[in-house]
Amino acid sequence: MVASSESHATDAGVDILRAGGNAVDAAVAVGFALAVTHPFAGNIGGGGFMLIRLASGETAFVDYREEAPGRASHNMYLDAQGNPIKDESVVGALASGVPGTVAGLALAEQRYGKLGLARVMAPAIHLAADGFAVSYALAQDLHSESIKLGKFDASRHIFLRDGNYYQAGEIFKQPELARTLQEIADHGPDAFYRGPIAHEIAASMEKNHGLIDLGDLAAYQAKIREPLVGHFRGYTIVSAPPPSSGGVGLVEMLNILEPLDLGAPDAYASMHLIIEAQRRAYADRAQFLGDADFVTVPVASLTSKDYAVKLREELLAAKPDAPVRAGNPAPAENGNTTHYSVVDADGNAVSNTYTLNGGYGSGLTIEGAGFLMNDEMDDFASKPGSPNMFGLIQGEANSIAPRKRPLSSMTPTIVLEDPKAASDGAPAAGSGGPQLRLVLGSPGGGTIINTVLEVLLNVTAFHLKVQQAVDAPRFHDQWMPDKIFIEPGISEDTAARLRDAGYTLQRVGGIGDCEAIAVDSQTGWRFGASDPRGDGKAAGY
């Protein structure tokens, strides 16, 4: 089963599974295919995280987050008066961090795949060379980003067709990108980081006053880290460690909520408890989280059951309008990220979230290579203590430094269940080990962690089917600003009770785009759920 945000990419993953590939092979195929068919967020010019859980029980977390160039500096986006320069960190070459996607996907394939890079990249190369039918959503997205994309010659030519905008149903071919992908397939990631593609990146950076040079590209390495592990009502939660804040926040909230009677989903009683847990976890995220290679992150303390007891006592005693302790709010990446989930016939599973940051990244396409670069540098604190473009105040722990990776909210997650768990949720003795139950994740910037939390709770605590769990209306509280964002599906009665209790609410059109797969513990059937908020597809056989 494959669930992704774009149908051609989902099909690419299923084709690789049918060809004998495992979940990692399929995930790498989906990642490269999305770089062709979903340029809004799919990429080889960005970065992200891949969480792997093999049927043997082995787990791994591939960190291929972008990192700051070697010439990056603490105040690089400030003017002479110390104020942020408009758009410097979000548009153009100076906004880009060193891309990690090619290194990360290649590393995952080398360590855990079966078919080899050339085979799993074949669907993406075909889609780029022969083209694919433009969806209505892609046509609208390209048109809506025409101002940013129109600033750069290659972007204007490839994605805007020099003003003759693509319409739904037309075939979109990308021959330069096809050549780039073929070069990677033939020669591996060195083609991107040390070979001809590296020279094309460096040339475009120099031409457009960016900082990334050949030394930055040659020095970049994807890193394999230990996943973060938590426990909730007989389930094992495997999620993202720093430099993501996602796993820490998710486990901290689950720890707080574990013994509480949550009642019904999207009712006042459950929402009040979940919102108060969200507020406390996001305050901690703000104060403590950053790139663990540069700052000390108290992961064990934040995710401990003892700490959750303290927060739960505080939560139950607090009034809804009582302030939560202040930290130094950290930034959250733009919501223009994408997630996909894969489970193969043997039970190997992959949860992958990756991003360009803003929609179509920095807007800059590498000339001759045909791919967009990220604007991930905006995820750093351009000016610690001042709000960024999303109104979030950013802390010193996430300030810019050479080779540093910006804090992320991406939360690829895999949930395991003890098949013999006792009725009270405690694992039974001699159960034979946990079994794969749920694979999920979402885009959505700062809302990602809460989207994953709510879908996970919908399945494990509220016992909804996975598609129901994904479809259910969502809400989001990130501590600052002090308001709750709610989707239209939450009833006005519930909203009125929340307002009466002292909460400030803001209606939004949609939160997240969860792509999930559930595995039935009795039959082994895979159930894919693609979020109706997006334009994706779940498919399997």
Q: What angle do CA 343, 346, 350 make, to 5 degrees?
A: 30
Going 184 to 189 to 195 to 196, the CA torsion angle's sign is positive
Tell me the residue ranges of DSSP E strands in 134-208: 171-172
Burial 376-410, CB ≥16 within 10 A → b, else e: bbbbbbbbbeeebeeebbbbebbbbbebbbbbbbb
For the record, the structure tokens of 467 come out as 């598609």
Task: Residue 379: name the closest of 401, 366, 394 by CA.
Answer: 394
Tokens of 485: 């964002």
Amino acid making up residue 139 = A
Non-local (6+) Cβ contacts of 12 within 8 A are 29, 30, 32, 33, 123, 124, 127
Sign of CA dihedral 192, 196, 200, 206: positive
> What's phi and psi for 538, nearest 5 deg?
-105, 135
Q: Which helix (H) or strand (E) holds 217?
A: helix 214-219
N residues, the chain: 541
Tokens of 402: 């050479």
Token pair listed for 38: 């979903």
Residue 464 phi/psi, 5-degree rounding, is -85, 150
Interaxial angle between packed helices 117-130 and 23-37, expressed in degrees from 0 to 180 and rounded to the nearest 10: 20
- Residue 115 DSSP class: S
Q: How are strands ordered across the β-sheet holding 484-486?
A: 475-476, 484-486, 505-507
According to DSSP, the residues that pair with 507 across neighbouring strands are: 486
Burial (0-12, 13-18, 19+ Cβ within 10 Å), 59? middle
Catalytic residue, chosen from 337, 353, 447, 460, is: 337
What are the strands, taking DSSP E only, across 375-482? 413-417, 435-440, 475-476
Cα radius of gyration rounded to whole Å, the chain: 22
Segment holding 246, helix H or strand E:
helix 246-257
Judging by beta carbons within 10 Å of its beta carbon (0-12, 13-18, 19+), is residue 136 exposed, middle or buried?
exposed
337 is catalytic: yes
Q: What are the CA-CA distances from residue 471 to residues 76, 275, 466, 507, 508 (Å)?
A: 42, 19, 9, 17, 15
CB atoms within 10 A of CB 58: 10
Q: Which residues are catalytic?
A: 337
